[in-house]
Amino acid sequence: MAEFIPFLMFLTVCLVLMAGYPVALSLAGTALIFALVGTAVGLFDMAFLQALPNRLFGTIENTTLIAVPLFIFMGVMLEKSRLSEDLLESMADLFGGFRSGLGISVVIVGALLAASTGIVGATVVTMGLMSLPTMLKRGYSSAQATGVIAATGTLGQIIPPSIALVLLGDTLSSAYQQAQLNMGIFTPKTVSIGDLFVGAIIPGLILVCMYILYVILFSRPTLQVEAELSEGQPSVDKLSRAMRNLLPPVFLIVAVLGSILTGAATPTEAAGVGAFGATLLAALRGQLSLSRLREVAQSTTEVTSMVFLILIGAAIFSLVFRGFGGEEVVEQFFNNLPGGIVAATLLVMLVIFLLGFILDFIEITFVVVPIVGPVLLAMGLDPVWLGVMIAINLQTSFLTPPFGFALFYLRGVAPAAVETSDMYRGVMPFIAMQVALMLMLSIWPQLATWLPELIYN
């Protein structure tokens, strides 16, 4: 009976979260209730919770996590400075002569926003408010328009610098070291957030190219008029304006990623460069004021507080889970699975995909990955490959009807004339593309591992 308690803990947390209670309090509260009951019946030792202060102090000392508020600040600052609106107008000018030009513009701007903000909800809402009315007016069907917008909004999960990759990188780093220590390797190799950033570049670019190809071939407006096309031909003035709006954010993204790739800066230092660069861009565009700076700082503090409060709740949950022997139960369960590492990986991916319907990536990263990560990595999986696969898997989950978070975000800003069933139909091709990318990564893991090995030797 005692071996089922860890699974019962996990199930209870999911039920409590589905009931609508706050994530951090649900994790900590469920764990403490199980710990008290377990202590009363002699199945749990409260000494496990004595490690909590050291855990929290380790979080405070973790300089890598300083990148989280800095990247959040960068994303919020760019969002508040009207960068996205100007980018969409500029890209529409550049691609106005193509029949699918507006759709291509939405994909490219969505990818740039994903690389700039790394926040799925913000990207989906921003693109929905800006581009959905225009796409509908230009003759795109509701399914085509909402599908492109929702799919590009989720690119923030996989395109670096992504908050999801920052948190995944830190969690997988700890899991990788733990896996090696459990195997008796006392000089463990390390994996960093930079490794995960580099590993996600090629899969992210492949996904963007697949989106653009689909838009060109299948997502065309039905009421396109020749006059509109001729009016959309880019002029010298439009090209000049497009370059002025496009080059600064691209330069900022290249500076952040380039400093990491070349080893000139750690991810935390690069995040500082990004935050400063976003503030400088807002100032140069005349979008920086004391009230806006206060608004950005407040939003950054709120999101950062949420992330770290969830981290504290997850730390309590993992300690109690370990106290009930959860790690041994999970390891034994995976080792006894027919099919070995392939079956174990498929099962974990399926569980993460389903949990993506009810949990955000932060909870999954802090709760699920520390449980299953050490076991899968000890079985021989590459940590960079596993991180990229989890990110794409969560991206697919956030897009899948009827529970996908991206669909909820878009439904909140879409006109009433756009039916929910249209949104469901629109995202199906993009879900298929993401599944195809995961299959490609399964067959050719070098898509995720080759570039980090090349750069970091």
Q: Which residues fall within 8 angstroms of residue 158, CB to CB, at 6 or more apart?
A: 114, 164, 165, 200, 203, 204, 207, 388, 391, 392, 395
* Global confidence as pTM: 0.83
Q: Which residues fall within 8 angstroms of residue 318, CB to CB, at 6 or more apart?
A: 367, 370, 371
Give the single-character DSSP code of 216. H
* Alpha carbons 205 and 164: distance in angstroms, whole number: 17
pLDDT at 231 (0 to 100): 47
Coil, strand or helix at 211:
helix
Dihedral (Cα; 304, 308, 311, 315), 10-degree rounding: 170
* Alpha carbons 447 and 206: distance in angstroms, whole number: 10
* Alpha carbons 174 and 177: distance in angstroms, whole number: 5
pLDDT at 120 (0 to 100): 67
* Alpha carbons 234 and 312: distance in angstroms, whole number: 52
Cβ distance 6 to 324 under 8 Å?
A: yes
pLDDT at 429 (0 to 100): 93
pLDDT at 439 (0 to 100): 95
pLDDT at 167 (0 to 100): 85
- The 10 Å Cβ neighbour count of residue 201 is 19
pLDDT at 335 (0 to 100): 79
Cβ distance 448 to 196 under 8 Å?
A: no
- Amino acid letter, 47: A
Angle between helices 67-80 and 267-284 (to 10 degrees): 20
Residues in the chain: 457
* Alpha carbons 27 and 53: distance in angstroms, whole number: 17
Give CA angle at 21 (15, 25), nearest 5°: 100
pLDDT at 209 (0 to 100): 93
pLDDT at 340 (0 to 100): 81
pLDDT at 390 (0 to 100): 93
pLDDT at 227 (0 to 100): 42
pLDDT at 230 (0 to 100): 42
pLDDT tens for the chain, 457 residues long, are 667 888 888 888 888 877 878 878 888 899 999 999 988 888 888 888 888 888 888 878 878 788 888 888 887 887 777 776 777 777 777 776 667 778 888 888 888 877 766 666 667 877 787 788 878 887 888 888 899 988 988 887 888 877 788 888 888 888 888 888 877 777 777 788 888 988 999 999 999 999 999 998 887 676 544 344 444 455 677 777 777 777 887 888 888 888 877 778 888 888 888 889 889 988 888 888 889 899 989 988 988 888 888 888 888 888 888 888 887 888 788 878 888 888 889 999 998 888 887 777 887 888 888 888 888 888 888 999 999 999 999 889 888 887 777 888 888 888 888 888 888 998 999 999 999 999 999 999 999 999 988 887 6
* Alpha carbons 261 and 384: distance in angstroms, whole number: 15
Q: Which residues fall within 8 angstroms of residue 94, CB to CB, at 6 or more apart?
A: 101, 105, 234, 238, 239, 242
User: What token pair was written down for 257?
Assistant: 């990623």
